[in-house]
Amino acid sequence: MYRIAVAKGDGIGPEIMDAVLKIFDAAKIPLQYDIVDMGKWVFDKGYSNGMTPEAQETIESVGILFKGPMETPKGKGVKSVNVTARKTWNTYANKRTFQTLHGVDTVFSKAGIPIDITIVRENIEDTYGGIEHMLTHDVALCRRFITRPGSYQVIKYAFEMAKKNGAKRITCGHKSNIMKLTDGLFLEVFYEVAKDYPELRVDDVIVDDLCMKLVTKPDLFDVVVLTNLQGDIVSDLCAGLVGGLGFAPSANIGDHISIFEAVHGTAPDITGKNMANPTALLLSGIGMIRHLGMMETSAMIENALLYTLESGVHTGDFGDKNTPSLGTIEFADAVIANFGKEPAHNPKPKIADKYVTPTLFKLEQNAMMESFGEEEESIVGVDFFIESNLQPNEVADKSIEHTLDLFKLVTISNRGTQVWPKGSVFTNLVSQYACRFESIGDAPLTQIDILELTKRMMKDFKICSYELLNKWGDKKAYSLAQGQ
């Protein structure tokens, strides 16, 4: 008997969760459900992370969370419970599989174009770090973190999953043509990991081109791995290819804890009306029991679902409007009635169970992920982000007054575009500049040197923030301004 934590969710969550658990019980799956308190109503009771301490303790003790859709209160300054859960337990890989479902009509199914795409999205870092500051009244800053260890975790998982599932191709979606350091690091790690998988076809695509190709020739792709925000957008795009989020399962995989969930909304307009479609949550649950090694049972339930959809059985949100739709529980009953039947299209093979005993850890401290380069590290300058409504030449004149013998003012940019020493009067400005000082002759600097320059610059400017300019060996670890 496996213990799993179950959070039913908000809105239609409890209804679709009850329907899925009814199917699992009918299939006699050896699961014990520990119901935990998470969601909007928990926020409303004053728990800022959307879960009770008892819920967190239970989930960390069993290692598996099966959850329905959850709502984050608007306008209360709280973070999404969904994102908080993924980040708290380091479920670094979000896996979402999108397949043609016969009985769910789409543009591509009508054209006879089969879709079978797996998106693996980095789940912890990127803009989903949610680290934001107002630098001035007019300027907001979001810090985007991409790390080498974090990239390695998700990319290694994607390659291992692709190899295990017999994939032929794995693609990295990225924007390293513009974000050369952040996306560039992700792409660099992708090709480092790829060296260990010569049996897979490996390539990369700029993310905007990827989106265009996905909506024109989706059958070209197999496994795609992306950073967090780009992966979020692309995975929802792929959901649209197969009928919407109501048919999109989601798994969040970590080394110690994994989360399986429906990622669609809570649909408050139909809550309590027995109208909701449980398919996405059921597919996520099938992925969960497959994750636990119940291969034969997962195939039996999935084949019953596929047979049900092929037969034209549907809830009110899809299917032939000329045939009656079923309610949530009635749809679950239809799936149960079709246990043992196989669909005409893409039946799932019966594979012997490979029961997995979850390895639960009582961790004493946080894991520190760190990699070390062989290159010598040095500080060669600083970027000051200052508030000013002066013209670029005036900012430059005042900044040059404060330079010490160690520094030279190299460039001033506004919203990432160089405005000094070269620029255009047609470049619109906001009241926040980046002033870049580099050491004379690239001589190494100390943080004390930076502090002395900081104090001098503060005489004329409010310094909103600053970043050190680092070098690893001969390689600059900072980007240039547009036009520099």
Q: Which residues pair with 97 in a beta bridge?
A: 118
Backbone angles phi, psi at 443, to 5 degrees: -70, 140
Do 377-476 and 93-253 fall under one CATH topology?
no
Q: Is the CATH code 3.30.70.1570 the one for domain 377-476?
A: yes
Q: Please give the pLDDT value at position 363.
A: 78
Q: Which residues in 181-207 are b (16+ Cβ under 10 Å) and which e? A: ebbbbbbebbeebbeebeebebebbeb
What residue ranges do the domains of the chain occupy?
A: 1-90+255-371, 93-253, 377-476
Tokens at 24, concatenated: 């699992």
Q: CATH says 93-253 is which class?
A: alpha beta
Q: Are 242 and 107 in contact (CB under 8 A)?
A: no
The dihedral sign for the CA sequence 71, 331, 314, 115: positive
Q: Which of 337, 271, 287, 326 minimizes the C-alpha distance to 103?
A: 326
Alpha-carbon distance of 50 to 283, in angstroms, equals 25
Alpha-carbon distance of 263 to 82, in angstroms, equals 9
Q: Are 287 and 93 in contact (CB under 8 A)?
A: no
pLDDT tens digit sequence for 210-238? 999 999 999 999 999 999 999 999 999 99
Q: Are 171 and 205 in contact (CB under 8 A)?
A: yes
Q: Please give the pLDDT value at position 360.
A: 63
pLDDT tens digit sequence for 104-136? 999 999 999 999 999 999 999 999 888 899 999
Q: Please give the pLDDT value at position 373.
A: 75
Strands (E), 40-186: 64-67, 93-99, 116-122, 126-134, 140-145, 169-174
Q: Would you put residue 135 in left (φ > 0), alpha (ψ -120 to 50) or beta?
A: alpha
Give 358's contacts (C-beta < 8 A, 6+ positions apart). Answer: 2, 62, 63, 64, 292
Q: Tens-of-pLDDT digits for all 484 residues of the chain? A: 899 999 999 999 999 999 999 999 999 999 999 999 999 888 888 888 899 999 999 999 999 999 999 987 765 566 788 888 999 999 999 999 999 999 999 999 999 999 999 999 999 999 988 889 999 999 999 999 999 999 999 999 999 999 999 999 999 999 999 999 999 999 999 999 999 999 999 999 999 999 999 999 999 999 999 999 999 999 999 999 999 999 999 999 999 999 999 999 999 999 999 999 999 999 999 999 999 999 999 999 999 999 999 999 999 999 999 999 999 999 999 999 999 999 999 999 888 887 776 666 677 888 888 887 778 899 999 999 999 999 999 999 999 999 888 999 999 999 999 999 999 999 999 999 999 999 998 899 999 999 999 999 999 999 999 999 999 888 899 988 877 7
Type and span of the H or E element at 60: helix 53-62
Q: Are 150 and 156 in contact (CB under 8 A)?
A: no
Alpha-carbon distance of 420 to 441, in angstroms, equals 20
Alpha-carbon distance of 77 to 22, in angstroms, equals 37
Q: CATH says 1-90+255-371 is which class?
A: alpha beta
Angle at 367 between CA 366 and CA 370, to 5 degrees: 135
Please indicate, yes or no, whether the overall pTM of this predicted structure exceeds 0.85.
yes
Give 77's contacts (C-beta < 8 A, 6+ positions apart). Answer: none
421: cis peptide before it, omega within 30°?
yes
Angle at 98 between CA 93 and CA 102, to 5 degrees: 155
Alpha helices in 348-388 (DSSP H): none
Alpha-carbon distance of 423 to 468, in angstroms, equals 24
Position of tokens 């070209």? 220
For residue 473, the SS3 value is: coil
Tokens at 130, concatenated: 């949610």
